[in-house]
């Protein structure tokens, strides 16, 4: 049977675009359909605009520090509309880059929603159908809808970048990395931030010492963080959005940001009708090679709910192309993925937390929390954390955890060592770079505890 295309990609985010571009570069006839803008969550509603907001929010603290270092500073007020205009101009530029990269490789682009008809057929919103030997689903995810009464009054992370003005009083509901990052961002921009999280501590799934220090520093920065707290009701009142919480409070806010998780974009796509299996959360079920239960249909990125990170989606897309079009079956490696959380201070982590490692055998923990030179000079009590979790038998570094300014940059390099299987003695043999915060990673010679 002759197909219109060798590959039809549904979804123009990081994973889909990379797969389409590389496959086309190798000579495949490729089409891509995207119902929104090119770039996906990362470029348009996630990593990129969020990181730019992090940069913007950090200047308030930097200018306060500048005074302590002898500079005369008159910063004035943060101009949100001016920043937002530049932000959207940058996002427009990046989207154009994505389109140009695809066009340059000869990818046929369809600005349309697409759904599966059968194992080899895609239907666009206007009813047009195209056939393909292989179909790749890369539709990503979206913010989950909260089930609290009155939740329709709230906004999600997708809406943050389009606010007409910064709220004076903001409530953030949630305790994951998205909630915590935006709490720090808005606090740095001068917003009065309150955060409710139903769990006992924020950042569930990360190392407990990391979680504790981040929560402490968030509170020190002025974020009114309440754990073990759920929203009971939300109603529009004279003073704003009135929120009744399980901690017994009734407070008014100008905006409520609901950051309670994300959901795979798999609904109303004809997937199950075509035989593609979904799990109970709507994620597409795939094997180690990203193949679905329909042999000609593959899926990568957040829609599979494996590891929901942009670099992972890109790596999955590359592995898919190598498998299907390169004659080299390649399973993406999801082990020991370095991760950063852009709270203030940042978190960088790779490998096992102390709690996870304890369940796998005897360990040693090397850890130091201290005031770095920069803040100690100013008399500030801000602290950082450097931590290594080591297998007591093999001496392999099982996990590295950093809470500090620039932790994301540090963990990228530390992640190489951990991925290579470095031992604690390998770290010890490495000369320290002085004076730096990261030198603690190679100068901690005595464990603080064994388990």
The catalytic residues are 434
Q: Are 245 and 142 in contact (CB under 8 A)?
A: no
Structure tokens of 353?
Answer: 């937390």
State the DSSP H helix or E strand holding residue 323, giving kind and residue range, or none if neither: helix 310-324
Q: Among the residues of 325-395, which ranges form H helices? A: 354-358, 373-377
Q: Which residues, listed in sequence order, are joined to residue 235 by a DSSP beta bridge?
A: 242
Residue 317 to residue 32: CA distance in whole angstroms:
14
Question: Concatenated DSSP letters for 233-286?
Answer: EEEEETTEEEEEETTS-EEEESEEEE---EEES-TTSSTTTTT--B-TTSPBP-
Q: Are 154 and 163 in contact (CB under 8 A)?
A: no
Structure tokens of 405?
Answer: 């300014």
User: Which is it for the CA torsion 221, 226, 227, 232, positive or negative?
Assistant: negative
State the DSSP H helix or E strand holding residue 208, giving kind and residue range, or none if neither: helix 208-220
Residue 2 Ramachandran class (φ > 0 left, ψ -120 to 50 alpha, else beta): beta
Structure tokens of 233?
Answer: 């009701």
Question: Concatenated DSSP letters for 375-422?
Answer: HHHTT----EEEEEEEETTT-BEEEEEEESTTHHHHHHHHHHHHHTT-
Q: Up-side HSE of residue 146: CA atoms within 13 Å toward CB?
A: 25
Identify the three-state secondary structure at position 225: strand
Range 369-372, long-range pairs (CB < 8 A, 24+ positions): 369/209, 369/213, 370/440, 372/404, 372/405, 372/437
Q: Are 368 and 444 in contact (CB under 8 A)?
A: yes
Residues 6+ positions from 85 with CB-CB distance below 8 Å: none
């Amino acid at each position: 049977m002759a197909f219109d295309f060798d590959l039809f990609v549904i979804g123009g985010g990081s994973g889909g675009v990379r797969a389409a571009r590389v496959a086309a570069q190798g000579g495949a006839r490729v089409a891509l359909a995207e119902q929104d803008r090119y770039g996906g969550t990362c470029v348009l509603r996630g990593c990129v605009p969020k990181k730019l907001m992090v940069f913007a929010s950090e200047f308030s603290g930097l200018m306060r520090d500048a005074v302590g270092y002898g500079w005369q500073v008159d910063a004035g007020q943060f101009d949100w509309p001016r920043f937002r205009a530049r932000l959207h101009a940058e996002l427009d530029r990046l989207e154009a880059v994505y389109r140009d990269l695809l066009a340059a490789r000869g990818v046929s682009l369809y600005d349309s929603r697409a759904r599966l008809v059968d194992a080899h057929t895609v239907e666009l919103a206007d009813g047009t159908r195209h056939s393909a030997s292989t179909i790749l689903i890369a539709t990503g995810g979206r913010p989950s809808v909260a089930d609290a009464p009155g939740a329709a009054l709230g906004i999600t992370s997708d809406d943050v970048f389009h606010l007409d003005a910064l709220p004076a009083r903001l409530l953030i509901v949630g305790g994951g990395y998205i909630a915590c990052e935006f709490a720090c961002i808005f606090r740095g921009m001068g917003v009065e931030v309150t955060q409710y999280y139903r769990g006992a501590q924020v950042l569930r799934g990360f190392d407990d010492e990391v979680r504790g220090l981040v929560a402490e520093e968030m509170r020190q920065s002025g974020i009114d963080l309440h754990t073990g707290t759920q929203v009971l009701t939300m109603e529009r009142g004279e003073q704003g959005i009135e929120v009744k919480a399980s901690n017994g409070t009734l407070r008014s806010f100008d905006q409520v940001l609901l950051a309670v998780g994300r959901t795979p974009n798999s609904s109303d796509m004809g997937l199950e009708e075509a035989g593609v299996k979904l799990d109970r959360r709507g994620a597409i079920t795939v094997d180690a090679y990203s193949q679905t239960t329909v042999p000609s249909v593959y899926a990568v990125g957040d829609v599979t709910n494996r590891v929901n990170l942009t670099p992972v989606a890109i790596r999955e897309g590359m592995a898919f192309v190598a498998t299907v079009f390169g004659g080299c079956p390649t399973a993406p490696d999801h082990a020991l993925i370095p991760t950063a959380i852009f709270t203030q201070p940042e978190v960088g982590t790779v490998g096992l937390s102390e709690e996870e490692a304890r369940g796998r055998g005897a360990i040693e923990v090397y850890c130091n929390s201290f005031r770095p030179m920069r803040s100690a000079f100013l008399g500030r009590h801000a602290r950082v954390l450097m931590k290594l979790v080591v297998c007591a038998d093999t001496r392999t570094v099982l996990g590295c955890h950093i809470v500090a300014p620039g932790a994301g940059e540090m963990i990228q390099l530390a992640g190489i060592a951990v991925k290579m299987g470095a031992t604690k003695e390998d770290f010890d043999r490495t000369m320290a770079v002085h004076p730096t915060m990261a030198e603690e990673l190679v100068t901690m010679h005595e464990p603080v505890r064994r388990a």
